[in-house]
Structures are given as C-alpha cells and as structure tokens.
Chains A and B, each alone.
Chain A
Amino acid sequence: DVKVTQSSRYLVKRTGEKVFLECVQDMDHENMFWYRQDPGLGLRLIYFSYDVKMKEKGDIPEGYSVSREKKERFSLILESASTNQTSMYLCASSFGAASYGYTFGSGTRLTVV
C-alpha cells in the first residue's frame, strides 16, 4: 500500500513563527501536492511539484513556500504564520495523470494563536 506520512497530526504555533510541515511518501511517486481544507471552501491547492526541485503555485500560494530536495519528501513552509492560516493541511502524492487518483496523508491540524 502506498503510504503518505505527515509528520504531525496536531500543531499549535504562534503568530509570526516560521512553520514547517513535512510530508513523506514511500512509492516513488513523481507528483506531490499540498492542499488546505476549510469549512465551506473544500480542498484548495497551495503548491505542487512534478519532480525534485520543481514546484508550481496552486490556487492559494500566498504566505507559503515549498521545498522538494528529495523525491519522497515535500515540505510546506509558512514563512510567518498568521491566524488565517489555521487550517487542516493535507499532503498527497500521485503517479502520472491525476485521473489515476491521489493518495492522501492523514492531515495536520494547524492552529495559529
């Protein structure tokens, strides 16, 4: 079974802190994604990556950056956390076209106080 592992289930951070969310997949998938889930807004794409050191902005990249130094690891960085970044963050990976489907991690519930 493909596994996508997010390092933390729950995080509480202070406004202005730099926050790192880590995601690791074990099936050699090319594509990795970061989404956030908010009530009434569904899943919104923050950043994605098709290959090592490649990254592309999604629909809501402001306030975030990403890093993909190794194929299996995709990190989401909140440069200076703000309260409006309190959310559920979901990492996903896929092989090839999205029509094959994603495998998601269990999510990280981030609260910024």
Chain B
Amino acid sequence: DQQVKQNSPSLSVQEGRISILNCDYTNSMFDYFLWYKKYPAEGPTFLISISSIKDKNEDGRFTVFLNKSAKHLSLHIVPSQPGDSAVYFCAASGNPNTGTASKLTFGTGTRLQVTL
C-alpha cells in the first residue's frame, strides 16, 4: 500500500523553464512533508519542507505547495538548471503528538532531466 505516490516516473524540461513535480498521499495523519534530491551514487539530500499548517514554502528557486484537502503537494523549480537533473523524492511524516513523527515515508521518485 503506497501511502505516498509520485505518478510521473520521469520529467524532461528545458533549461530556464519551470519544472513541476507532483506528489499525492493517502494517509491523513501525515503532518509534515519534505522533498529530497538524489544524484546517482549519492545519498538523498534534503531540499525543502512544508508543515501542514502552511500551503506554500519558498526557498530560492524552489517552492513547495500543499493542498491538504486534495492530499497533494508539488515542487516548483524556477528557473530549471542542468544541475537540477536528479531523482526527486517526496516524503511525509506524522504528527509528533500521535507518536508517528519519527520516520519518513517516501514516494517512488521522479527523475528530472533538464535539457539545454
């Protein structure tokens, strides 16, 4: 039972354009969402996060949007650069008050390729 889903396994975007990566979740107990970026032969690195009390969080070229009613989040990268080519994973954690906060559930990943 995949609780966090990334339905697009791959995405190709031209340099300078916007990349939009999507993520859906099913567990309403999830309270915090993170995006990780992974290059081949390296471990994932943290990119940006958002709490369920917000609907948007921005950090430079990266913005994460959360639609809690739709159980959907998206990562926008503007403008896209060739160095952004990587696999992107969204992840979710629970509420500390429910004891489910200490582990992350990851999606299946989206491979982004930014072309020249």
Task: Give the number of chain A interface residues (Cβ < 8 Å).
Answer: 28
B103, A45: Cβ atoms closer than 8 Å: yes
- Which of the 9-residue segments B41-49, B64-72, B75-83 touches chain A? B41-49
Residues 55-113 of A at the B interface (beta carbon under 8 Å): 58, 90, 92, 94, 96-99, 101-102, 104-107, 109
Interface pair A104/B101, CB less than 8 Å apart: no
Q: Is the CB of B41 within 8 A of A106?
A: yes
B64-104 interface bits toward A, Cβ cutoff 8 Å, 1 = contact, 0 = none: 00000000000000000000000001010100100001111
Which chain B residues border A50 with CB–CB below 8 Å? 102
Choose from A9, A43, A92, A98 the contact partner of B32 (Cβ within 8 Å). Answer: A98
Q: Are A98 and B89 in contact (CB under 8 A)?
A: no
B51 to chain A: which residues have CB within 8 Å?
99
On chain A, the residues within 8 Å of B9 by CB distance are 40
CA distance A52 to B6 in the complex (A): 34
- B106 interfacial by beta-carbon distance below 8 Å: yes
Query: Most A CB atoms within 10 A — which of B42, B45, B104, B108?
Result: B104
Q: Would you give 28 A-B contacts (Cβ < 8 Å), ordered by A?
A: A33-B103, A40-B9, A40-B108, A42-B108, A43-B89, A43-B109, A45-B104, A48-B102, A50-B102, A90-B43, A90-B44, A92-B43, A96-B102, A97-B102, A98-B32, A98-B102, A98-B104, A99-B32, A99-B93, A99-B96, A99-B101, A104-B43, A104-B44, A106-B41, A106-B42, A106-B43, A107-B42, A107-B43
